[in-house]
Amino acid sequence: VFERNPEKEAPTLRECFKYLDLTSRSFSAVIQELNPDMLVPIALFYLVLRGLDTIEDDMTIDLKTKEPLLRHFNDKMKIEGWTFTENGPNEKDRELLVHFDVVIAELNKVGKNYYDIIEDITIKMGNGMADYALNAEFNENGIQTIDQYEEYCHYVAGLVGDGLTRLFVEGKYANPALLERPELTESMGQFLQKTNIIRDVHEDYHDKRRFWPKDIWSKYVDNWDDLFKPENREKALNCSSEMVLNSLKHADECLFYMAGIKEQSVFNFVAIPQVMAIATIELIFRNPAIFERNVKITKGDACALMIKATQNLRVASGVFKDYVRKIAKKNDPRDPNFLEISAACGRIEQFI
Ligand code: PS7
Ligand code: MN
Ligand code: MN
Ligand code: MN
Ligand code: MN
Ligand code: MN
């Protein structure tokens, strides 16, 4: 087990870990237990992308300011002392950007091989976010097609996976063969992001953000708002089932990806979020509460899952199997997605 050694850290690095704690509910702990070689690059990678996402999410920044910030964030992160203070006062992660100079100071010390990967992903994600932020159709009516849905998830999560895989291989903590199977890495990001989007539907609805593709929801209701009306609960549940079905197609590739990790602390780092995601999918599957409030797995469940995810691939896969069985049990024959969900669960179980 690895532990940080704050006494030996530069003050700016200690500050970075403070902002990591402040901005991430789930990633901070697993990042801090990474091996000493991956610890700082991945903590900084997280903070850079969190900074980018904070700009993307802030609807009080006008597009004229937002677009160049997103597209050229990689230049900002090279400017000694750069900070951003024009965030809306309610933006939850604004403190990170107000003190971004500490992240820049530490990025400056990262080895070039790691820095180049972080920069490449920052450029690609920032441009992807800017494209969506400028898309009037997306802003007015949300995501339309399943292809757009998956493209957006690629920008905000698939790319994170790409950068992480390259960092792991560079440090010799993952099998280089993973670089020849980019679809496995993509599934790791897509599964996390899609779970987040299904779970957060009520919160995003109130923020006037719509990530469920129209191609899916329009089969169940005529207007997006109808999904949240109590009289349409059955239709909304069937719609959420199709969203779950769409996310389940990534599960087997996630397990396959995890087989390519060669070091325990990196394994824990990749396995914990995935195990939390399958447990979250089971919790939200046919759960009407997702249309009324934020639903989250309990602290107790999260602790038990952490322990199992950090044993080995067999135990982590066992957790997937348990939750896939629970999903199959909850599956409702009156749901138009019943047969396909049943088949998807069967496929995953067979793989394990
Ligand atoms: C660099 C660890 C391991 C191959 C900030 C980890 C927000 C789901 O938006 O904060 O607040 O509802 O709960 C993470 C693949 C990305 C994808 C993406 C960077 C796994 C900026 C995580 C995380 C790839 C865009 C957290 C994608 O959501 O959401 C590092 C392998 C950041 C991973 C965002 C979402 C992450 C997310 P929100 P959360
Ligand atoms: Mn965002
Ligand atoms: Mn966000
Ligand atoms: Mn935010
Ligand atoms: Mn979300
Ligand atoms: Mn409401």
User: What value does the mean pLDDT take over residues 163-176?
Assistant: 98
Q: What is the pLDDT of residues 99-143, one digit of tens each?
A: 999 999 999 999 999 999 999 999 999 999 999 999 988 888 899
Q: Which of 209, 286, 325, 347 is catalytic?
A: 209
Q: Which pLDDT band holds residue 92 (cuts at 50, 70, 90)?
A: confident
Instruction: Quote the ligand 5 centre to 112 CA distance (angstroms).
Output: 32
Per-residue buried b or exposed e for 43-64, using 16+ beta carbons within 10 Å of the residue's own CB: bbbbbbbbbbbbbbbbeebeee
pLDDT one-digit tens code per residue, 19-29: 999 999 889 99
CA distances in angstroms from 342 to 101, 274, 324, 326, 329, listed in the order given: 51, 21, 10, 11, 9
Question: For residue 332, what is the DSSP state?
Answer: -
Closest C-alpha among 55, 47, 96, 50 to residue 72? 55
What are the backbone angles phi and psi of residue 143, rounded to the nearest 5°? Answer: -75, 135
Residue indicated by tokens 């909304």? 236
The pLDDT, as a whole number, for residue 134 is 94
Site of tokens 């195990």: 275
pLDDT at 352 over 90: no
- Dihedral of the alpha carbons of 338, 340, 346, 351, in degrees to the nearest 10: -150
Q: Is the pLDDT of residue 1 over 90?
A: no
Phi and psi at residue 230, to the nearest 5°: -55, -35
Question: Which two three-digit tokens encode residue 146?
Answer: 């399943």
Average pLDDT along the chain: 96
User: How far, in Å, CA of 212 to CA of 97, rounded?
Assistant: 29
The answer to whether the beta carbons of residues 351 and 320 sit under 8 Å apart is: no
Angle (CA) 200 203 206, round 5°:
145
In the chain, the amino acid numbered 305 is L
Tell me the percentage of the chain whose pLDDT exceeds 70.
100
28 in contact with ligand 1, CB cutoff 6 A: no
| Ligand 1 contact, 157 CB (< 6 A) | yes
Nearest Cα residue to 242 out of 297, 201, 184 = 201
- pLDDT tier at 313, thresholds 50, 70, 90: very high
Structure letter (DSSP) for residue 212:
S
Residues 235-247 have pLDDT tens digits of 999 999 999 999 9
Q: Is 220 a catalytic residue?
A: no
Q: What is the pTM of this model?
A: 0.96
- Range 63-91 average pLDDT: 94
**pLDDT at residue 192, as a whole number:** 98
Residue 15: its pLDDT value, please? Answer: 98
For ligand 1, atom 2, which residue shows the shortest CA distance? 46
CB-facing half-sphere around the CA of 348: CA atoms within 13 A: 28
Could you tell me if the CB of 193 is within 6 A of ligand 1? yes
**Sign of the Cα pseudo-torsion (237, 239, 245, 250, in order):** negative
Closest CA to 105 of 4, 7, 10, 20: 10
The partner residues of 261 in beta bridges, in order of sequence, read 174
| pLDDT reading at 257 higher than 90 | yes
**Catalytic residue (choose from 152, 211, 257, 285):** 152
For residue 47, give Cα distances in angstroms to 119, 157, 189, 313: 12, 14, 17, 28
Cβ neighbors of 133 (< 8 A, separation 6 or more) are 56, 63, 66, 67, 70, 139
The whole-number pLDDT of residue 26 equals 85
What pLDDT sits at residue 90? 78
Do residues 269 and 30 lie in contact, with contact meaning Cβ atoms separated by under 8 Å? yes
For the question of an ipTM over 0.90, the answer is: yes
Q: Is 161 in the pocket of ligand 1 (CB under 6 A)?
A: yes
Q: State yes or no: is 46 an active-site residue.
A: no
* Predicted confidence (pLDDT) per residue in 139-166, tens digit: 888 999 999 999 999 999 999 999 999 9
